[in-house]
Amino acid sequence: GGVVRTFHSLVAIVPGLMGLLLGLVFIALGSGGVKSFAGSMVGSLYERDDLRELRDAGFSIFYISINIGGFLCPLLTGILQDRMGFHYGFGAAAVGMAFGLLWYSRGRKNLPHTPAPNPLRPEEVQTAIAVGVLLVLVLGSVIASG
């Protein structure tokens, strides 16, 4: 009752706030999941003995690509947002992400199939879910209380 009413009134007062917070949560989850996964995937590309000497070069290419993208993409989206509008800036980011996903999906079949190095044990899954739900509830309470 009261929490839902407060939530709806907050969304009505500041319609962009919930979108912003949801976007930030997705960015945090995506960054945390993708960065660690991508780094281990780059390492698994060079597991064969004849490729081990190329591992340092592979990581250098990977990290310089990440850093160039991290430098240029905010500049590009900012310029587009400033000169053409908000939707063009974020549209360019969406097109770039779609291109990256398409590129990955096309080359995925050529990647080695290596299992996750340290998956959660079954008894740890419930704890991780409980911590996640607790964090969402705390964040929701902070937002609802103003």
Asked if the structure places residue 91 within a domain, the reply is yes
Asked if the structure places residue 54 within a domain, the reply is yes
How many domains does the chain divide into? 1
Asked if the structure places residue 133 within a domain, the reply is no
pTM for this one?
0.53
Give pLDDT, residue 24: 77
- Name the residue range of residue 70's domain: 46-114
Asked if the structure places residue 70 within a domain, the reply is yes
Structure tokens at 116: 């996750």
Please check the confidence at residue 136 and state whether its pLDDT lies above 70: yes
Name residues whose C-beta falls within 8 Å of residue 58's C-beta, 6 or more positions apart in sequence. Answer: 42, 45, 46
Asked if the structure places residue 6 within a domain, the reply is no
Q: What is the pLDDT of residues 99-121, one digit of tens each?
A: 988 988 888 888 777 666 667 77
Asked if the structure places residue 23 within a domain, the reply is no
Asked if the structure places residue 146 within a domain, the reply is no
Name residues whose C-beta falls within 8 Å of residue 47's C-beta, 6 or more positions apart in sequence. Answer: 112, 114
> How far, in Å, CA of 25 to CA of 18, rounded?
10
Q: What is the pLDDT of residues 69-94, one digit of tens each?
A: 889 888 988 898 889 988 888 888 88
> How far, in Å, CA of 74 to CA of 38, rounded?
21
Instruction: Show the CA angle centred on residue 22, arms to residues 19 and 105, nearest 5°.
Output: 110
Structure confidence at residue 22 as a pLDDT band (50, 70, 90): confident
Asked if the structure places residue 2 within a domain, the reply is no
